[in-house]
Amino acid sequence: MRREQAVQPPINRDITISEGITVKELSEKLDVKANLVIKKLVDRGIFATINQTLDGKMATELSREFGASTSTVTYEEEAMQDVETAEEESDLFHRPPVVTIMGHVDHGKTSLLDAIRLANVAGREAGGITQHIGAYHVDHNGKTIVFIDTPGHEAFTRMRARGAKVTDIVVLVVAADDGVMPQTLEAIDHARAAKVPIIVAINKIDKADAQPDRIKQQLADRGLQPEEWGGDIVMVPVSARQKTNLDLLLEMILLVSEIADLRANPARPAMASVLEAKLDRGRGPVATILVRNGTVRVGDDFICGTVFGRVRAMIGDRGEPVKEAGPSMPVEVLGLERLPEAGDNFQVVTDTAKAKQIVLYRAEKERAVQLAKTGRLTLEQLHRKMAAGEVHELPLILKADVSGSAEVLRDTLEKLSTEKVTVRVLRSGVGAINESDVLLAAASNAIVVGFNVRPERNAAAAAEQEKVDVHLHTIIYEVVDQIKKAMSGLLAPVYKEVYKGKAEVREIFKVSKIGTVAGSLVLDGSFTRDANCRVLRDNVVVHTGKVASLRRFKDDVSEVRSGMECGITLESFNDVHAGDIIEGYVLQRVAVDVG
């Protein structure tokens, strides 16, 4: 490289770049000719056209070489910068508050929502609203409030967190007869992280064992000080069953929203958040969105994460078709090419060509991330990761034929732990390796070790799909030796087992001078005379050896394909039973790269 290239010019300006910026767009922002940017790329060994997209790091490095520092924004943020710059105070109008109901399971969130809905919506419209869209609006004293219903169970923590991000006010429901529970604390954390005001609804005050003051004390201990005790948290005692104080709760929501002075510009292109997305058999991909700002109309082009589309139709929270949806309104949108992710930004766009380019760029990046994720840990990679300081733990899942073996194997392997790497057995059990074992291994990046057992068919397919490393052994010291060598980076060249096929024993024939002949049907793959084989009885290995002879009718054959019947004789083994599975495989030597 020439010396003058190493000296970079001083920074004399700052530019904003968005994701997926092209060479042409970057040259315009830098105010230089595109061929100069292309020349810089060629110097780096990258041959690009003016329409080539650049990742953020490359765009930043190129800008620096032209004396510019960069700040990176998303495509949506860049698209809205001009709109926000031109926006005036007179364009902003008050918008309805978006309220998320949170709290512990069984504390009466849905009951409270139903009570509010029935009290504020005509009876004929009330049926199935929440189930229809998961968000709806009610009118109180001529003003609108939008509610989002979030599940209360721990499994939906992520969904509840997403609810807090799109909300203006959180209503925390706490049962007066129960108290502050783990999910109540989670909800408080989510609301605080989103920096939104909290209103506490102390529900079930009609119950005989209700203690509202005890709830207030518990919440005060967690930093939520009630207004009547000199704090700033509004606490309303309510009863969903008796419909007590519901109007007071709605008035408090409106009061808090007035203090927050929530405003939006209905005239600008819409920005929204995806609350949920589902695949409907009749309508295709459908997304429930909550409009944060602007107005979305039927016919608008939009970008939503890695999805581009045009609004074909919109369904309101009461199941009616709508032509447009303004700020704070929840609607179902039809017209997506595929399902977006819950929590994605939904942005109406005017430059469709640029939007499509961004979607392709994002899809490519996402594909790269997904491919990186599927790189499961294998024993061969362990040493390389240890050397890089990435692995401090080797998670294992053990399955053996008997409990004694499983116990011994577990103790032996856990004792192999060193200062550099800890061997941790996530699960040890008896029986065949099942799909649940493989899925656990996939989730925890673990290695599955089978001792005298085999994977079930579904488990084998899942292991291949999830790229989970499964090691099968019949001798304990071989297992220990392999794990030990992997940990020390001395894993020698090994033999890789290549599955050939399997046959089910249907009938047994005793033939003098030959022994036991297993009349079998080849279930899948093919069975060859030179293959190694193992006999499985109830998924447990009862014999490992070689095929002595393979016959079809009276002829010796070298191979029998799937769906055909044959007679199999095994070397030094006659204890074959009807119903046994004979599995054929060959061993291929592979050199292991330990990096």
In a domain, 16, yes or no: yes
| pLDDT surpassing 70 at residue 449 | yes
In a domain, 15, yes or no: yes
Give the SS3 label for residue 149. strand
Amino acid, single-letter form, for residue 177: D
Mean pLDDT of the chain: 78
Statement to judge: residues 405 and 534 lie in one domain: no
Q: What pLDDT, on the 0 to 100 scale, is given for residue 492?
A: 45
Statement to judge: residues 249 and 111 lie in one domain: yes
Dihedral (Cα; 82, 84, 86, 91), 10-degree rounding: 150
Q: Which of 542, 546, 552, 548 is nearest to 581 (CA)?
A: 542
pLDDT band at 581 (very low <50, low <70, confident <90, very high): very high
In a domain, 82, yes or no: no
Amino acid, single-letter form, for residue 103: G
Q: Which of 107, 184, 113, 96 is nearest to 149 (CA)?
A: 113
In a domain, 166, yes or no: yes
Statement to judge: residues 457 and 537 lie in one domain: no
Instruction: Supply angle C-alpha 202, 203, 204, rounded to 5.
Output: 135
In a domain, 436, yes or no: yes
- State percent of the chain over pLDDT 70: 81
CA 401 and chain centroid, separation: 34
Q: Which of 483, 508, 506 is nearest to 494 (CA)?
A: 483
Statement to judge: residues 105 and 247 lie in one domain: yes
**Which structural domain range is residue 474 located in?**
379-492
Mean pLDDT in residue range 285-311 = 86
> Which has the higher per-residue pLDDT, 182 or 297?
297
Q: What span, in angstroms and rounded, lies between the C-alpha atoms of 133 and 247?
A: 24
Statement to judge: residues 317 and 400 lie in one domain: no
Statement to judge: residues 169 and 222 lie in one domain: yes
Q: What span, in angstroms and rounded, lies between the C-alpha atoms of 546 and 190?
A: 62
Q: Are strands 68-73 and 13-18 parallel, antiparallel or unpaired?
A: parallel
Q: What is the pTM of this model?
A: 0.54
In a domain, 560, yes or no: yes
Q: What span, in angstroms and rounded, lies between the C-alpha atoms of 153 and 187?
A: 11
Give the SS3 label for residue 405. helix
Paired tokens of 333 = 């949108």
At 505-519, the pLDDT tens digits run 999 988 887 888 999
- For residue 576, what are the β-bridge partners? none
Mean pLDDT in residue range 560-581 = 90
Statement to judge: residues 386 and 448 lie in one domain: yes
In a domain, 248, yes or no: yes
Statement to judge: residues 111 and 247 lie in one domain: yes
Q: Are strands 21-22 and 53-54 parallel, antiparallel or unpaired?
A: antiparallel
Provide the residue count of the chain: 595
Statement to judge: residues 485 and 508 lie in one domain: no
Q: For the domain that residue 174 is a member of, what is the CATH number?
A: 3.40.50.300
CA 337 and chain centroid, separation: 20
In a domain, 529, yes or no: yes
Q: For the domain that residue 331 is a member of, what is the CATH number?
A: 2.40.30.10
Stretch among 11-20, 149-158, 250-259, 473-482 having the lowest mean pLDDT: 149-158
Statement to judge: residues 507 and 481 lie in one domain: no
Number of domains into which the chain is organized: 5
DSSP E strands, 338-392 = 345-348
Q: For the domain that residue 21 is a member of, what is the CATH number?
A: 1.10.10
Statement to judge: residues 285 and 246 lie in one domain: no
At 116-146, the pLDDT tens digits run 877 554 343 333 333 445 677 888 888 888 8
- The last residue of one of the domains, among 261, 291, 324, is 261
Paired tokens of 371 = 């491919």
pLDDT band at 155 (very low <50, low <70, confident <90, very high): very low
At 59-101, the pLDDT tens digits run 787 877 777 777 666 666 666 665 666 667 777 888 888 888 8
Q: Which of 506, 497, 519 is nearest to 569 (CA)?
A: 519
Paired tokens of 455 = 């994977």
> Which has the higher per-residue pLDDT, 319 or 419?
319
Residue given tokens 């968005």 in the structure block:
18
Q: What span, in angstroms and rounded, lies between the C-alpha atoms of 299 and 277?
A: 20
Q: What pLDDT, on the 0 to 100 scale, is given for residue 10?
A: 73
Is the CB of residue 524 less than 8 Å from the CB of residue 499? no
Statement to judge: residues 178 and 281 lie in one domain: no
